[in-house]
């Protein structure tokens, strides 16, 4: 089953085209790494797929629901989860109140609460009685991850999920995501840490200047780039940044 299908999706901010007629499909149970340089359109795409921003053109299908926003957004939002790039959460909540609120608003069952307790232990969250305004970036990031992972949504949109996490938590997250994908859940993830993408993703999509410039498995990307090497090498080559890196290094050498 196709979890995410996107056709000619476009978003403009004034005359600037942030996302330019992109097409992609993500099968259920797969981990997709959505890569690109800063300002390439990754976050804007995720915002459109999660209903935060409405597209200016094209269409999408999320979990079989065609163009779900805004007509069927509640139905779809209950089945997906988002960890945004910036872990911004309501500062007036205490940690546990936020999780409680999430369970209520998603009308979660008792099993979710059990999973939540497990995740709290796994991520070593011992600050739930603190106000969110008093939490660090990493603390908030872990809280947000728990709030999404505990629900085990059918699709998880994770925008730079490992930023701010300690090594242990990042490792746990990676293992957890793999397991969820094995159980049929879909992970749509952006990351600048290409090693993570290389090791975890079933499929990689590279976007640059709002356009998808490459997609496929690691092997398929190697074929497209016409060279062997790490994802970092392929990424730089495909985004055209390889030459620029060489030039800058030469300049710096001088």
Partner 1 sequence: MRELKIFMKYGLFFIVTRRKKSSSKKTVLFGQIAVFGYFSVFTGVMMYSMLSKLKDIVINNMSLVDLYALYWNFLSGVFFLLGVIGSSVYVLSMNEEVEFLLVLPVRRWTVTFYQLFMAIFYDLPVFGMFMAVSVSYGLILGGLYPAIAVVTAIVHSLMLLTLGVYISTFVARKVTGSIARRIFIFIQAVALVGFILLLNFSMSSTSNDMNALFIKLSKIYKVLSSPFNIFGYAISSINKPSYIGVSLLLTILFGYLFVKESGKMGFVVVKGSAKKKVKYKRYARNYSIMMKDFKAIFRQDNSLFLLLYPYVFGAFMGWSVKDPLYALLVAVPISSMYALLEASQALLHDVSNWEITRSLPYTYKELISYKMFLTTGVNLLLSLALLAFTSFFGGFNPKSLWVLLIAANEFVMATSAGVYAVLSNPPKTENVSRELMKAPLWMSFITIGVTVGAIFGFGTLQKWWGLLIFIASMTSTEVLIGVYLRFSKKRFKDLIEGKI
Binding site for partner 1 (CB under 8 A): 11, 13, 47, 50-54, 56, 70, 73-74, 77-78, 81-82, 84-86, 88-97, 99-101, 103-107, 113, 126-131, 133-134, 144
- Compute, in degrees rounded to 10, the torsion defined by CA atoms 145, 121, 185, 200: 80
Rounded least distance, CB 249 to partner 1, Å: 26
In whole angstroms, give the CA distance from residue 124 to residue 164: 14
Minimum CB distance to partner 1 smaller for 102 or for 236: 102
CA dist., res. 216 & res. 224, Å (int): 9
Q: Which is nearer to partner 1, 107 or 219 (CB)?
A: 107
- Across 145-237, the runs of DSSP E, i.e. the strands, are 155-159, 186-190, 203-208, 211-216
Q: What is the C-alpha to C-alpha distance for residues 102 and 115, in angstroms, rounded to an integer?
A: 13
12 vs 178, which CB is nearer to partner 1?
12
CB of 247 to partner 1, least distance (A): 29
Measured distance CA(59)–CA(116) in Å, rounded: 34
Give 98's DSSP letter.
H
3-state helix, strand, coil in the chain (%, to 5): 40, 25, 35
Closest CB to partner 1 among residues 11, 215: 11
Write down the least CB distance from residue 215 to partner 1, Å: 25
Residue number with CB closer to partner 1 (26 or 148): 148
Q: How far is the CB of 127 from partner 1 (least distance, A)?
A: 7
Q: How many Cβ atoms from other residues are within 10 Å of residue 32's Cβ?
A: 26
- Inter-residue contact 62 to 155 (CB < 8 Å): yes
As given in the structure block, the two tokens for residue 204 are: 């990689």
Cβ 126 to partner 1 shortest distance, Å = 6
Shorter beta-carbon distance to partner 1: residue 26 or 156: 156
The Cα 49–Cα 9 span in angstroms is 10
What's the min distance (Å) between Cβ of 185 and partner 1? Answer: 17
């Amino acid at each position: 089953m196709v979890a995410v299908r996107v056709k000619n999706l476009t978003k403009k901010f004034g005359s600037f085209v942030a996302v330019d007629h992109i097409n992609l499909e993500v099968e259920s149970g797969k981990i997709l790494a959505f890569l690109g340089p800063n300002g390439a359109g990754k976050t804007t795409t995720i915002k459109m797929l999660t209903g935060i921003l409405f597209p200016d053109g094209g269409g999408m299908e999320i979990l079989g629901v065609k163009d779900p926003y805004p007509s069927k957004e509640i139905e779809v939002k209950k089945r997906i989860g988002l960890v945004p790039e910036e872990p911004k959460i309501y500062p007036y909540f205490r940690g546990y109140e936020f999780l409680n609120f999430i369970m209520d608003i998603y009308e979660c069952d008792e099993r979710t609460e059990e999973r939540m307790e497990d995740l709290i232990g796994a991520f070593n969250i011992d600050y739930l009685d603190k106000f969110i305004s008093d939490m660090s970036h990493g603390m908030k990031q872990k809280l947000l991850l728990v709030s999404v992972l505990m629900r085990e949504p059918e699709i998880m949109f994770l925008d730079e999920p490992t930023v701010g996490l300690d090594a242990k938590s990042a490792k746990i997250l990676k293992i957890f995501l793999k397991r969820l994908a094995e159980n049929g859940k879909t992970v749509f993830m952006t990351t600048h840490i290409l090693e993570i993408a290389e090791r975890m993703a079933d499929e990689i999509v590279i976007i640059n200047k709002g356009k998808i410039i490459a997609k496929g498995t690691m092997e398929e990307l190697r074929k497209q780039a016409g060279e062997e090497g790490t994802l970092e090498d392929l990424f730089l080559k495909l985004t055209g940044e390889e030459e620029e890196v060489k030039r800058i290094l030469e300049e710096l050498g001088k």
